[in-house]
Structure 1
Amino acid sequence: MPKPSSPPSQAPADANNEDDTGFSGSKTFEELGVDSAICEAITAIGWTAPSKIQQQAIPHGLAGKDIIGLAETGSGKTGAFVIPILQSLLQNPQRLYALVLAPTRELAYQIGEQFEALGASIGLKCACVVGGIDMMQQQVALARKPHVVIATPGRLVDHLENTKGFSLRTMKFFVLDEADRMLSMDFEEEINQIVQLMPADRNTYLFSATMTSKVRKLQRASLKDPVKVEITHKFATPETLKQHYLFIPAKFKDCYLAYVLNEVAGQSVLIFVSTCNGTQKVTLMLRNLGFQAICLHGQMPQPNRLGALNKFKAKQRNVLVCTDVASRGLDIPSVDVVINYDIPTHGKDYIHRVGRTARAGRAGVAISFVTQYDVELYQRIEHLLGTKLDTYPAFKMRLLLLC
């Protein structure tokens, strides 16, 4: 690995979007023990102070401890594991040094972007190994022996079984990001297979929004005497988030959606729909009404998914209609409004959805459409939050004109 050079003058504009929530000025990265070369890279991409999860996790990571971190998206958890890995790699240069598992392709790419932004000055090489991309292209990348491999579990297992010469035996770090989500997506078998193939002499970091029974089981199987760090309440929502509901007849949901979008015209809006077909239907309807809408769901080809995400991030489109693929982990800056077109079936999914707005102390609005079929689900959400939500102020006469 080349010796450290001056950090790049610019980094991706959104490189630290996940890490701008919960910052505290009580400590600096230097005071946490971070190497000066990495601190220069941190400054270059605009990070001013470590977040709470970084303050708690980084010293343990630098001390060689295994870590289990309970933290929501937006807490800075990616930086909490990227920085200790980079510092260790700087001190012990080696190819195929760290493996990071992520539940979705988009999150894997964003983790890779953060590694590259912070590791550019020390010559870091990464490979992103996810589904939806040509296997041979990834085999070429793995043959070059990058320092860090970021992967989704299923595609990594494919390479372990079919890519000649690729193994995990030299890995010194193993990260499981959003472990609860990976396990809920039925990756348990693949993760267990990967754990068995990792060398025993390694550091393991497990990050999860919730501590489920499956996460506890994985913790026991993969971590040795871990240090537990936790910074958020399990079901907290930001204080700057205004949450509303609209109780409406199911057959008029599209009318109400058009009304709300007109009310928030000019703002960036994330609309959650329960199915892939539903996202396409809603997107087409909104386009026909003149809204700049684009959809994102799990059945789209990977280039199309990344293209949709990038258009929304670049403000070329101000309405993104998506399934829960976008509710956790995705690096989407400056979302002003979240609309639950379909109520989520699990309360924690509501938390993750509305957590896409009101980040980093900014204000945000969440609006949930509640039909006659959603009352029980909605009541569960209010019970989870421990509060009653306010009704969104809709004007019936204007809605009648739309309907």
Structure 2
Amino acid sequence: MAAGDEEGQAAEPEAVAESEAAVEEPRSFKDLGVTDVLCEACDQLGWKVPTKIQVEAIPVALQGRDIIGLAETGSGKTGAFALPILQALLETPQRLFALVLTPTRELAFQISEQFEALGSSIGVHTTVIVGGIDTMSQSLALAKKPHVIIATPGRLVDHLENTKGFNLRALKFLVMDEADRILNMDFETEVDKILKVIPRDRKTFLFSATMTKKVQKLQRAALKNPVKCAVSSKYQTVEKLQQYYIFIPSKFKDSYLVYILNELAGNSFMIFCSTCNNTQRTALLLRNLGFTAIPLHGQMSQNKRLGSLNKFKAKARSILLATDVASRGLDIPHVDVVINFDIPTHSKDYIHRVGRTARAGRSGKSITFVTQYDVELFQRIEHLIGKKLPAFPMQEEEVMMLTERVAEAQRFARMELREQGEKKRSRNDDDDDTEEAIGVRNKVAGGKKKKRKAF
């Protein structure tokens, strides 16, 4: 796979069979061919009727075909690949049966939860292999040979290369979820390595929101005569989503944010920022003003990231500030309002961000902040979704009345951010001292080590 392909260039896969939608849409999972024990599990999860991608993909997967699933965010993709895998596992029980590759740690944990919930009555064991977690405990979990491994590509390659006795030579199913994003995060080398060490005789499911040139190359390399199951070929947002923008001077962004949070008080919010630093700063700013805000970004430890997500899911916090690490795949049922505090540079990311609200038939709002520097990016978004967005009604005078309090909170947030940075630096210095001491010991023992290696 060449690394130089354009992220946004769409390309249709060659020689891919189209799945034929049934004349009459099935009304239940049983109609799709799902076995009784798994139908009961769906019922317990509250999955009454299959989603469009499940209707398209499950019957084809149960026939033993490879699949390319193109579906928008929040479309029930996990069920579309988990149910056929669990049904095949029931028919031929085996350890290290399936591997699911995902781009982010949070998505990996979420997929694991769904596999375990669907497979609880048949005793399915899953293991999550992602960065930010101790490799030794992961090696022990792999030694127990789970049925399903859900992994980010980088950490899985680490274990394939360094964990004694671990291999995927008996693997029967490979799933690449959010494949476009896996490749955009520069995991191509890792995916290539994984494809080289797993059996050619396997079933492969590739799910992606978009068919980029990179995904097309991956499809050619990894799938055999796949069936394409596409439920949404054009970029669109759901009908029940009310979308707005506000045009504001860049220096008053924080004041406008506080105004909107006050105006729409009582709702739950996801606020998207472009950088980890701005996510952390804005969370501290809002806390200083008395809001229950928590951050979620890539520079947090894995435990803290999961903690933030769980607090927000449990409604213990009403505002989640996040980078695009949370824009795709995460199923948080009760988001009322999405705010694009920083406008996304890739227009498609707008679709994924606002897709966090108005899920499963509910209504929701999204508000995008457009400063004097963002006009072109905003026009691209409107062009992509094919509609002109209305302005959110604002009372400018009320916003201006907040500026003094906000300025004070900004000052406190900067101080806290600086303190956090200093603590982090001092911890890193301590680690460096430890490494230096280890280095000295190794030099002293170096001669002995070399002699041992020679024999």
TM-score range with shorter-chain normalisation? over 0.9
Q: Deviations over 1:139-166 (max 9, x none)?
A: 0000000000000000000000000111
Once the two structures are TM-superposed, the CA of residue 27 in structure 1 deviates from its matched residue by 2.4
Partner of 1:339: 339
Q: Distance in 2 between matches of 1:159 and 1:400?
A: 55
Q: Please list, as runs of the form range in 1=range in 2, the aligned pairs for 1:199-278 lying within 5 A after superposition.
A: 199-278=199-278
Q: Distance in 1 between matches of 2:25 and 2:230?
A: 18
Q: Deviations over 1:35-68 (max 9, x none)?
A: 1111111112211011111011000111000000
Code of the aligned partner of 2:358: A
Once the two structures are TM-superposed, the CA of residue 204 in structure 1 deviates from its matched residue by 0.1
Q: Is the 8 A contact 2:247 2:371 kept in 1?
A: yes
Q: Deviations over 1:231-280 (max 9, x none)?
A: 11331100001111110000000000000000111110000000000001
Q: Please list, as runs of the form range in 1=range in 2, the aligned pairs for 1:115-264 lying within 5 A after superposition.
A: 115-264=115-264
Q: Is the 8 A contact 2:25 2:55 kept in 1?
A: no
SS at structure 2 position matched to 1:214: helix
Q: Distance in 2 between matches of 1:214 and 1:294?
A: 35
Q: Distance in 1 between matches of 2:25 and 2:265?
A: 36
Partner of 1:18: none
Q: Distance in 2 between matches of 1:50 and 1:332?
A: 19
Q: Distance in 1 between matches of 2:141 and 2:234?
A: 38
Count of matched residue positions in the alignment of Structure 1 and Structure 2: 380
Code of the aligned partner of 1:366: S
Q: Give the number of the structure whose alpha-carbon radius of gyration is greater.
A: 2
Partner of 1:112: 112
Once the two structures are TM-superposed, the CA of residue 226 in structure 1 deviates from its matched residue by 0.2
Q: Which moved more, 1:231-240 or 1:244-253?
A: 231-240
SS at structure 2 position matched to 1:306: helix
Q: Is the 8 A contact 2:60 2:227 kept in 1?
A: yes
Once the two structures are TM-superposed, the CA of residue 203 in structure 1 deviates from its matched residue by 0.1
Q: Deviations over 1:297-355 (max 9, x none)?
A: 01100000000000000000000001000000112111000000000001001111001
Q: Deviations over 1:65-106 (max 9, x none)?
A: 000000122101100000000000000000000000000000
Q: Deviations over 1:197-217 (max 9, x none)?
A: 110110000000000000000
Q: Distance in 2 between matches of 1:76 and 1:234?
A: 18
Partner of 2:70: 70
Partner of 1:19: none
Once the two structures are TM-superposed, the CA of residue 25 in structure 1 deviates from its matched residue by 7.1
Q: Is the 8 A contact 2:179 2:207 kept in 1?
A: yes
Q: Distance in 2 between matches of 1:386 and 1:58?
A: 31
Partner of 2:378: 378
Q: Distance in 1 between matches of 2:233 and 2:336?
A: 23
Q: Please list, as runs of the form range in 1=range in 2, the aligned pairs for 1:355-374 lying within 5 A after superposition.
A: 355-374=355-374
Q: Is the 8 A contact 1:25 1:49 kept in 2?
A: no
Q: Distance in 1 between matches of 2:132 and 2:328?
A: 20
Partner of 2:82: 82
Q: Which moved more, 1:122-131 or 1:227-236?
A: 227-236
SS at structure 2 position matched to 1:266: coil
SS at structure 1 position matched to 2:32: coil
Q: Which moved more, 1:41-50 or 1:53-62?
A: 41-50
Which stretches in structure 1 are left out of the alignment for 5+ residues? 1-23
Code of the aligned partner of 2:67: I
CA RMSD of aligned residues (A): 0.9
More helix by share: 2
Q: Please list, as runs of the form range in 1=range in 2, the aligned pairs for 1:10-89 lying within 5 A after superposition.
A: 26-89=26-89
Code of the aligned partner of 2:257: L
Q: Is the 8 A contact 1:25 1:50 kept in 2?
A: no
Once the two structures are TM-superposed, the CA of residue 224 in structure 1 deviates from its matched residue by 0.1
Q: Is the 8 A contact 1:27 1:55 kept in 2?
A: no
Partner of 2:91: 91
Q: Distance in 2 between matches of 1:272 and 1:28?
A: 36
Assess, with a 3 A threshold, how the Cα gap between structure 1 residues 261 and 25 changes in structure 2: closer, same or farther.
farther
TM-score normalised according to structure 2 size: 0.83
Partner of 1:389: 389
Q: Is the 8 A contact 2:125 2:147 kept in 1?
A: yes
Partner of 1:13: none
Q: Distance in 1 between matches of 2:372 and 2:157?
A: 44
Partner of 2:350: 350
Partner of 1:294: 294
Q: Distance in 2 between matches of 1:344 and 1:28?
A: 38
TM-score normalised according to structure 1 size: 0.93
Percent identity over paired residues: 67
Q: Please list, as runs of the form range in 1=range in 2, the aligned pairs for 1:302-317 lying within 5 A after superposition.
A: 302-317=302-317
Q: Which moved more, 1:192-201 or 1:216-225?
A: 192-201
Q: Which moved more, 1:297-306 or 1:41-50?
A: 41-50
Which stretches in structure 2 are left out of the alignment for 5+ residues? 1-23, 404-455
